[in-house]
Structure 1
């Protein structure tokens, strides 16, 4: 309540100034000592902690003319930022209803009202206003950005593509990353309908606008795998490492499956050795441990991992080593080691495995669009550090 009272003081001052100006203009026709009673009623509401009534009176006093348009816009914007969306809508609607506004002033009022509707979740109304601005070429870049937000919320990916391209033309913005993900979304819709050819075309289009789009390459690899082209799927999966090595952990399982399906365990081993050396602590060493265990036995796997951890400290590697030692085939099971492994597992499960590089949002699974800040391709697997435990 106290904050709102402080917010209304400038409004009261502006209203008082306006009333004084009007009084001065009409001084010749006004009885001495006469004052605007509405202004004093508004002050009285403020003193009695009745801000809602005070707002209505002060806004009523501020008649819309060339001197007060900016005041109305600023006041509505303040209320929207404070979450008082209904009041912001009322102020901006009142402003738009005035016929004396210039084209620029009306455009600014439409933009503010559209943002009010967007904040209130009234997407249809907001879309109509932003499209009006779009057609009249008023505040075009702002209108297009808000339209893009609405179309993403509604998952209208075709409209997103059109709007992103329009933004690129008129505002000079690079929207290639977003466009590639819109194509990926359309590809996933096509796959759900069993339209593999359409999905492949969408994914190739995604890669044409953003050659480093990991999501498009990953989806295309799955399309090829499901179509029986395992070798091509493997080529695409391994190329992801060159696109962005941060996504290596996301494809290791499928890479291993493809090599095995092709009967190429030796090539799989060479690949994992190279990845563990080039990109330590990204998970390749753990897949290599499993392969060594399969080919050479338990002790060889323990020896390799012990040597790897000595050269490259790794919490994940340490946990895998504890698991191997706790489940030894020879029956030597250390109860204390088992307790340590259990507690480490519990602590790691409590932390988010992924984090957005834009806003810091943490998640337990990979999202291609951040649920918090809505940035695309901003979430990566977090490196595990001692400070996380």
Structure 2
């Protein structure tokens, strides 16, 4: 307790010193010297009696708002917010804004800081209003657009998020291609769930026009075409992923397989799998191809295909598939050992994450288009290597 009190005293000493300095300077210009001295001593008494909150309030009251102290008030408000004392920060910034002698520049800065205060406690309607008002101020426009974009994403207002991001990119030159495409994908997914496929496809068309490498847009587009039984268009959408980011092909495999099956184009599906492997697709594609080879040529040919792949690119998932093929033909004495090995590999696979954020390293078993940790868009990708693809 004594240690924390010492830290509190040390933290407040600069504020006390500044208050004393400004108070002393005013004492030479004011007839209320005794009153100021009394308040200053009162603040010191609060500090020494382990009442830091009252001490802070007393010292702040001594810092009358003028051109000499505006920056001090703003710095204190920022400090309060960072310490989690948002109510105090709000009160301080509101007090600043209420001062008629405050310059327009300082008032806008105080309004921006107040908006940050409201953001910190989740009062997004109030902060949104303040940031929108400040868009006419060139000094704060860029920062306000960033804050508005943050608010619209938190509140899942994707339409306004897209508009703000487009403004941020066009007028401020801040790259927003990937986020904007995702906002239109979010809108498309909403429309899809509502049963409005036409509006969903229109939003996906916008997403792809903004970012032609949007895997998410291709996946959603293919899914909608699949629901509409437009299998050729679905295949075309899914095939686009080969050029966009081949690492995401496993996400589309079940849907691609269904589309080819519905068109009875089994050779076309096999060609797609072979082409994917040639371009560097992972073990999930190999396993799918091995099932076709198994039907056409038997277990031995399928096992040979997987074995050749594993020599170049070791994979737990590939090993499990290879074990499954060998169990069927193993001698009775060897089968329990192979089954045990299969169970061990299955447990290893089930415990491992499938995706990793390329920005912050966040691991997950489910796909996220926006990283839950760092909030970056398009940064979560399938893990490659022995534990992944």
Task: Tell whether the structures are fold-level matches, with TM greater than 0.5.
Answer: yes
Matches of 1:164 and 1:128, distance apart in 2: 17
Is contact 2:40-2:59 (8 Å) kept?
A: yes
Matches of 1:350 and 1:67, distance apart in 2: 60
Question: SS where residue 74 of structure 2 aligns?
Answer: helix
Question: SS where residue 325 of structure 2 aligns?
Answer: helix
Displacement after TM superposition at 1:50 (Å): 1.8
2:129 match: 128
- Please give the per-residue CA displacement for 1:14-41, whole angstroms capped at 9, x wherever unaligned: 2122122223444x9858xx97122222
Displacement after TM superposition at 1:213 (Å): 1.1
Tell me, yes or no, if structure 1 residue 10 matches structure 2 residue 6. Answer: no
- Please give the per-residue CA displacement for 1:195-242, whole angstroms capped at 9, x wherever unaligned: 111111111111111111111111111222222221221121111110
Displacement after TM superposition at 1:269 (Å): 2.3
Displacement after TM superposition at 1:170 (Å): 2.4
Tell me, yes or no, if structure 1 residue 359 matches structure 2 residue 363. Answer: no
Matches of 1:353 and 1:82, distance apart in 2: 37
Matches of 1:313 and 1:46, distance apart in 2: 65
2:56 match: 55
Is contact 1:148-1:160 (8 Å) kept?
A: yes
Is contact 1:325-1:333 (8 Å) kept?
A: no
* Number of corresponding residues: 384
1:156 match: 157
1:372 match: 373
Q: TM-score, normalised by structure 1?
A: 0.91
Cα 1:51/1:336, change in 2 over 3 Å: farther
Q: TM-score, normalised by structure 2?
A: 0.91
Displacement after TM superposition at 1:333 (Å): 5.3
1:272 match: 273
Is contact 2:313-2:386 (8 Å) kept?
A: no
Tell me, yes or no, if structure 1 residue 101 matches structure 2 residue 102. Answer: yes
- Please give the per-residue CA displacement for 1:126-147, whole angstroms capped at 9, x wherever unaligned: 1111111124555011111111
Matches of 2:129 and 2:175, distance apart in 1: 25
Question: SS where residue 190 of structure 1 aligns?
Answer: helix
2:166 match: 165
1:22 match: 26
Q: Which moved more, 1:97-106 or 1:80-89?
A: 80-89
Matches of 1:347 and 1:4, distance apart in 2: 50
Matches of 2:331 and 2:317, distance apart in 1: 24
Displacement after TM superposition at 1:374 (Å): 2.0
Unaligned runs of 5+ in 1: none
Is contact 1:357-1:380 (8 Å) kept?
A: yes
Residue correspondence of structure 1 range 73-222 to structure 2 within 5 A: 73-137=74-138, 139-222=140-223
Matches of 1:232 and 1:30, distance apart in 2: 83
Cα 1:282/1:119, change in 2 over 3 Å: farther
2:43 match: 42
Cα 1:162/1:280, change in 2 over 3 Å: closer
Is contact 1:281-1:314 (8 Å) kept?
A: no
1:67 match: 68
Displacement after TM superposition at 1:385 (Å): 4.2
Question: SS where residue 160 of structure 1 aligns?
Answer: helix
- Please give the per-residue CA displacement for 1:37-83, whole angstroms capped at 9, x wherever unaligned: 22222223223322211111111111111011111111111121222
Is contact 2:134-2:140 (8 Å) kept?
A: yes
Is contact 1:370-1:378 (8 Å) kept?
A: yes
Displacement after TM superposition at 1:115 (Å): 0.6
Question: SS where residue 371 of structure 1 aligns?
Answer: coil
- Please give the per-residue CA displacement for 1:84-107, whole angstroms capped at 9, x wherever unaligned: 222221221111111111111011
2:307 match: 306
1:252 match: 253
Cα 1:346/1:87, change in 2 over 3 Å: farther
Question: SS where residue 380 of structure 1 aligns?
Answer: strand
